[in-house]
Chains A and B, each alone.
Chain A
Amino acid sequence: MHGVKRVRYSREALAAHKERERAKLKEFQGLTAEVLSRKKGNDFDKESFELTTRLLHVNPEFYTVWNYRRRILLNGIFPTSTPVQINDVLSDDLSLTTTLLKQHPKVYWIWNHRQWCLRQVPDGPTDADPNGWRQSYWNKELFVVEKMLEVDPRNFHAWTYRRIVLENMPVKRPELSELAYTKRKIEANFSNFSAWHQRSKVLSSLWESGKRDKFKSIEEELDLVKNAMYTDPGDQSVWLYHRWLISLGDSKSVVDREIQSIEELLEEQPDSKWCMESLVFYKRLLLRSYGESLADEDRRKLASDCEELLVNLQRVDPDRKQRYMDLSQHKL
Chain B
Amino acid sequence: MGSTLNVPLHVKYIQSLGENKDDLIYHMTAHLRMNAVYWGLTALCVMKDKDALNREEMIDFVMSCWDEKTGGFSPHPDHDAHLHPTLSAIQILIMQDALDRVDIPRVVKFILSLQQESGVFAGDEWGEIDTRFLYCAVNALSLLGHLHELDVEKTVGYIRRCRNFDGGFGNREGAESHAAQVFVCVAALAILDRLDEVDQDTLAWWLAERQLPSGGLNGRPEKLEDVCYSFWVLSAMSILNKIPWINADKLTAFILSAQDPDHGGIADRPGDQPDVFHTLFGVAGLSLLGYPGLDDLDPVYCMPASLIESKGLRKGWTALPRKASV
List chain A positions with a Cβ less than 8 A from chain B.
Answer: 1-8, 18, 21-22, 24-25, 28-29, 32, 36, 39-40, 59, 61-64, 67, 70, 108, 112, 116, 154, 156, 159-160, 163, 191, 193-194, 197-198, 200-201, 235-237, 240-241, 243-244, 247, 318-320, 322-323, 326
Asked if B221 is at the interface of the complex by the 8 Å CB criterion, the answer is yes
How far is A319 from B274 in the complex, measured between Cα atoms in Å?
A: 27
How far is A1 from B23 in the complex, measured between Cα atoms in Å?
A: 15
Kindly identify which residue among A25, A247, A326 contacts B22, using a CB–CB cutoff of 8 Å.
A25
Which of the listed residues A2, A4, A36, A322 has the most CB atoms from chain B within 10 Å of its own CB? Answer: A2
List chain B positions with a Cβ less than 8 A from chain A.
Answer: 22-24, 27-31, 74, 78-80, 82, 124, 126-128, 164-166, 170-172, 174-178, 202, 204-206, 208-209, 211, 213, 220-223, 226, 242, 244-247, 250, 260, 262, 267-268, 271-275, 277-278
Given contacts A191-B221, A240-B165, A320-B211, is CB(A2)–CB(B176) below 8 Å? Answer: no
Which B residues are CB-close (under 8 A) to A194? 176, 220
CB distance from A214 to the nearest CB of B (A): 14
B273 touches A4 (CB 8 A): yes
User: Quick one: closest A residue to B215, CB to CB?
Assistant: A319
Kindly identify which residue among B29, B126, B221, B272 contacts A70, using a CB–CB cutoff of 8 Å.
B126
B176 touches A1 (CB 8 A): no
Which A residues are CB-close (under 8 A) to B79? 63-64
A28 touches B245 (CB 8 A): no
CB distance from A198 to the nearest CB of B (A): 8
B27 touches A320 (CB 8 A): no
Which B residues are CB-close (under 8 A) to A159? 175-176
User: Quick one: closest B residue to A192, CB to CB?
Assistant: B222
B177 touches A197 (CB 8 A): yes
How far is A40 from B242 in the complex, measured between Cα atoms in Å?
A: 50
In the complex, 17 of the A-B residue pairs with CB atoms within 8 angstroms, ordered by the A residue number, are: A24-B24, A25-B27, A40-B78, A63-B82, A64-B31, A70-B126, A108-B128, A159-B175, A163-B175, A193-B221, A194-B176, A200-B164, A236-B222, A320-B211, A320-B245, A323-B204, A323-B205
User: Quick one: closest A residue to B242, CB to CB?
Assistant: A323
Which B residues are CB-close (under 8 A) to A22? 22
B220 touches A160 (CB 8 A): no
CB distance from A8 to the nearest CB of B (A): 8
How far is A320 from B215 in the complex, measured between Cα atoms in Å?
A: 11
Secondary structure at the B interface, as helix, strand, loop or mixed, is loop
Which B residues are CB-close (under 8 A) to A197? 164, 166, 176-177
How far is A237 from B31 in the complex, measured between Cα atoms in Å?
A: 36
How far is A193 from B222 in the complex, measured between Cα atoms in Å?
A: 8
B177 touches A319 (CB 8 A): no
User: Quick one: closest B residue to A116, CB to CB?
Assistant: B126
Which B residues are CB-close (under 8 A) to A6? 260, 267, 271-274
B31 touches A240 (CB 8 A): no
Kindly identify which residue among B28, B208, B223 contacts A320, using a CB–CB cutoff of 8 Å.
B208
Given contacts A63-B31, A323-B205, is CB(A191)–CB(B222) below 8 Å? Answer: yes
Which A residues are CB-close (under 8 A) to B31? 61-64
